[in-house]
Amino acid sequence: MLVTGGAGFIGSHTCVELIEAGHDVIVVDDLSTGHAQALDRVAEIAGAAPVLEVADITDAAAMDTIFGRHRIDAVIHFAARKAVGESTEIPLDYFHTNVGGTATLLAAARRAGVHRIVFSSSCSIYGATGADDLDETAPTAPANPYAWSKLACEQMIEQACRHHDDLRAISLRYFNPIGAHPSGLLGEDPHGTPRNIVPYLAQVAAGKRGRVQVFGGDYPTPDGSAIRDYVHVVDIARGHVTALEHVDDQHGMQLHNLGTGQGTSVLELRTAFAAAAERDIPFTVTDRRPGDVPRLVANTDVVRLAWGWTPKYDLAIMCRDSWRFQQLNPDGYRR
C-alpha cells in the first residue's frame, strides 16, 4: 500500500488503521507540512513502522523509483497543499502540487501496473451552494484555488477511469476532520500559527495564545457563527480502510462524503472544547474571514448505505482527544 502524505495529520492516522488491518505501508512524503516523528508514533501505536520515502510527488523519476522498489497494490493519495488562504496568494503552486502532483502520481502508478486509487477530496468544493444538507450530487462551487484544485483532481481521475477500463478510484470528500488518536501520540501539529479552528482553540486553552477570534457573528445561523460538520480524524482514517475493501466494487470513480451529518457552530465548538479542557476559552467575535461560507454539513446517506461506514465518535470525544494531544505534546512532535 502506498500512502502519499502519510506523515501528515490525516495520513498518519490512516497509517495506524491500515497497519492494524494488516496492510504493509510505504509512505511518500516531502515533509513540507508533515513530520517524520509522526511515523515513529504510528509504529508505537500499531506495532509496525511504515517505510518512509522522502520524495516530492511532482517528481516523476522519484515516483518511478519508488513504485519500482516496493510491491504496491493500491495508492491512498493525501499529499497536497491545503491552506485555503495561502492558495489565494500562490494559486499556481497549489495547482502544481495538487493537480500536477496527482497527474504525475497517477501516471507513475499506471506505468507500474497499479490500478487502485483512493483520493482525498474536500467539502470545500461545494462552496456556498446554499444547500442545507449536501449529498454527493449537490452542485459544486469552489470559492478558492485550493478547492478548485481538488475539483480539478476529481475530474481528472473521473476522466481517467472513463478511458482506462482497469482503473478503480474512490474520491472521499472529507468535511472538517478534527480530534486526534485516543492514545495522545498522534494529532494535528501545524507548522506556525494554526489557521484551523481546533488547533487554535487548543493553543488558547493551553495558555499559548490569548483568545480565539470567532470569524463572523452575523451569519444566518441560530447563534450567528458559521456552522461546520466536524468529524473525528480516526473515523476518517477508518473510512479509508473501508474504501479499500470497496475499491473494486464498480467501474468509474466512486464518490463519497465523509462527515457526521451534524452541524456545529463555532461558538458551540468553543463551548464543547472548553468543557473538554475544563477551562474557559476567551473569545472575541470579529469580522467574517474572506472566502468562508455560512454552513457546510454533509449528507452521508450514500456511504452509510453502500459501505455501512458510520462515524463512531461525537464532538465531545473529538474535543477530548484534541485536548489530550495538546496536553501531552505542548510543542507538537518536537518533544
- Please give the residue ranges that form the binding site for ligand WQD (CB under 6 A): 82, 84, 122, 124, 176, 195-197, 200, 212-215, 226, 228, 266, 289, 292
* Residue position matching grid coordinates 484551523: 196
Which of 87, 102, 104, 120 touches ligand NAD (CB under 6 A)?
120
Q: Strands 176-178 and 264-265, how do they pair? A: unpaired
79 binding partner (options ligand WQD, ligand NAD, none; Cβ < 5 to 8 Å by kind): ligand NAD
Distance in angstroms (rounded) separating the CA atoms of residues 128 and 293: 6
**Is the separation of the CB atoms in 131 and 232 below 8 Å?**
no
146 belongs to the catalytic site: yes
Minimum distance from residue 21 beta carbon to ligand WQD (Å): 25
Interacting residues of 193 by C-beta distance below 8 A, sequence separation 6+: none
Of 141, 5, 14, 151, the residue nearest 81 (C-alpha): 5
Distance in angstroms (rounded) separating the CA atoms of residues 146 and 134: 19
Is residue 168 at the binding interface for ligand NAD, with CB under 6 A as the rule?
A: no
What CA–CA distances, in Å, run from 230 to 3, 59, 270, 332? 24, 34, 13, 22
Minimum distance from residue 92 beta carbon to ligand NAD (Å): 14
Is residue 29 at the binding interface for ligand NAD, with CB under 6 A as the rule?
A: yes
Nearer to ligand NAD, 165 or 331 (CB): 331
Minimum distance from residue 33 beta carbon to ligand NAD (Å): 4
243 binding partner (options ligand NAD, ligand WQD, none; Cβ < 5 to 8 Å by kind): none
Residue range at the interface with ligand NAD (CB under 6 A); choices 7-15, 129-137, 268-276, 327-335: 7-15
The set of catalytic residues is 146
